[in-house]
A and B are shown apart, each in its own frame.
Chain A
Amino acid sequence: MTGYYITGYCIIRNNEASVNGKPVFSAHGKNTREFFTDLYKFLDSDYPKFHKMDNLCKLGFLSSELILKKNGVRTIFSGSDTGVILANSSSSLDTDRMHQVTIINRAAYFPSPAVFVYTLPNIVIGEICIRNKITGEGSFFIQEKLNPVFLTDYIRCLLDCEIINRCIAGWLQVDGDDCDAMMCLIEKTDKPISGFVNFEPSVIRDIYNLRI
């Protein structure tokens, strides 16, 4: 019977990263930016655009690399049947503050397109799509906290209507020192393999609450 399964998931928080419940990397004593750079090097992604990204995009990029790489090889899900549905509570406020600094007084007025472009939360969807050549559905929702019921309902709706066949979904929060990511790969399959996890709100909640 065809079902929806979480075929991979990751958590990034407290300067640690885990994949499918197993810790894979940590770098304590570093700030968020340094930690992201270290994790990028650890993943051996060879994607120079990474260094131009703001922290929200870096967090999303790293999360997607974690769930799409299996045994060091990145699974390719290019095309329009993959969706990217993300959420957080602070939108792009972390980078909004950086742009605000550049316009705060006329004596030092230097707004930059390289910063301003990241003052939209959905840019991270674009970065993940460019990296993986994904052209499918994308939406960024802003909610007070992770809402597993809504995310599950909406993604099920997309899968049920065959708008997409798989979805990269997650919670990506960067607000100053508050950095918190959970990302899942949800796939429609008729051959459940042991170890696959049911796509249910309670499972999303459990994954999010995992201790690394």
Chain B
Amino acid sequence: MTDVFIVSDNIITSLGFSTGENASNMTAGITGIRLISDESLSPDPFYVSLVDTDRLRGTFSQILDPEEFTRFEQMAILSIKAAVAATKIDFSGERTLFILSTTKGNIDLLGKNTGKNDPGLYLWHTAKRLGDFFRFRINPLVISNACTSGLQAVITGSRLIRAGYYDNVVINGTDIISEFVVSGFSSFKSLSTGPCRPFDSTRDGLSLGEGSGTIILTNNKGASKQTFRIRVGMGFSGNDANHISGPSRTGEGLFLVTDRVMKNSPSMPDFISAHGTGTLYNDEMEAIALTRAGLQNIPVNSFKGYWGHTLGAAGVIELAMCVHSMNNNVLFPTKGFREPGLENKLNVIDRVIKTEVNACLKTASGFGGCNSALYLFKT
């Protein structure tokens, strides 16, 4: 079977504009989640992780006019550009596919009265603008599967390479903070009263975040002839078939996908990067599912305490940090976690650990009862 490698990545969040800068800040124990008061986003102050607007515009203006591109596009372009520049692969041909993963795209345009049918509201149009900018030949694909979008995009990309349709897949996941999204999660009463505390006994909700992540997959059959270390293993998605907005009480969907991934993987993972939003029910659901899959003793973390829940970008951003963990043999603590607060105990990582990291399991769950899991390992 064709091997699929992760060859390049980038993360843009409140903690930095590269994967390395994010990791340095995480190592220093810094969170990008802040209490903000901004009437244009919410009537009440709330905790959120925002990408620094001045830095975004400043960095973007070095390559293009920020007035010509939306906030969403600026983040996505900077992230893709950084990841593409870090490889020797030629992406110009018909063997490269671009996948955009997002839940809401330029949804902020809906509140700006730019016209009922502003093309910027259509996700395929947004993807096409990004794809055209990078001169990707093939029509881009958009995946919008709620909070599993990013991970599902990587799973889909790896399948299309294995099936022989493409040699390279460039995956970008981006979502921005908007009044639209803040008001919705607020109406669900799912926002935390402080920076989110995944798996902690005092956790009381999620913190939203924005950001952009890019992951580039290749079978390395092109002309680059580079040596790559991180291989993409099996990944699956599955549905709880239980409720459209509440996590399953039995963790059915997440159990099914993690169990299936592990049955198709060469060894136990050295750590699990969980979804870990910090809501009461999500975190408990994950603990139930991982316990059912026999993974309760594997070290597990959530990255949400650093840059919040970045929705459709989360799977890509968090998987990029998993790659960093593997390449640097370091496990990051779950920011916000202090004392165990789950009925089903998990082995939550609470400090920086330097250790050999040869394999990783990444999971995600979202509205609509969707769940995804993916295995990464070193060659």
Interface residues of A (CB under 8 A from B): 78, 80, 84, 89-91, 93, 96-97, 99-100, 102-104, 106, 109, 111-113, 116-117, 119-127, 129-130, 132-144, 147, 150, 153-154, 156-158, 160-161, 163
Contacts and interface: CB of A to CB of B under 8 A. Distances in A.
A161 B142 CA distance: 22
A144 B183 contact: no
B237 interface: yes
Q: What are the 5 closest A-B residue pairs judged by CB atoms, nearest first?
A: A126-B368, A116-B184, A142-B142, A129-B239, A111-B187
A136 B143 contact: no
Contacts of B69: none
B107 interface: yes
Interface stretch (B53-61, B158-166, B192-200, B277-285): B158-166
A89 B370 contact: no
B227 interface: no
Interface stretch (B79-87, B119-127, B316-324, B328-336): B119-127
B369 A130 contact: yes
A141 B184 contact: no
A142 B239 contact: no
Contacts of B145: 122, 125, 138-140
Nearest to A147: B139
* Interface footprint category on B: 35 or more
A97 B110 contact: yes
A99 to B, nearest CB: 6
Contacts of A106: 43
A122 B156 CA distance: 16
A134 B252 CA distance: 11
B244 A99 contact: no
Given A89-B122, A89-B124, A123 B241 contact: no
B187 A129 contact: no
- In the complex, which of the residues B104, B146, B156, B184 has the most CB atoms of chain A within 10 Å of its own CB atom? B184
Nearest to B186: A111
A140 B143 contact: yes
A122 B370 contact: yes
Interface in B231-282: 236-245, 252-253, 256, 260
A74 to B, nearest CB: 15
Given A100-B111, A111-B187, A116-B184, A142 B159 contact: no
B242 A130 contact: yes
Interface string B98-111: 00000111010011
A21 to B, nearest CB: 29
B369 A139 contact: no
Contacts of B370: 122, 125-126, 138
Given A139-B143, A157-B160, A120 B256 contact: no
A100 B121 CA distance: 13
A157 B107 contact: no
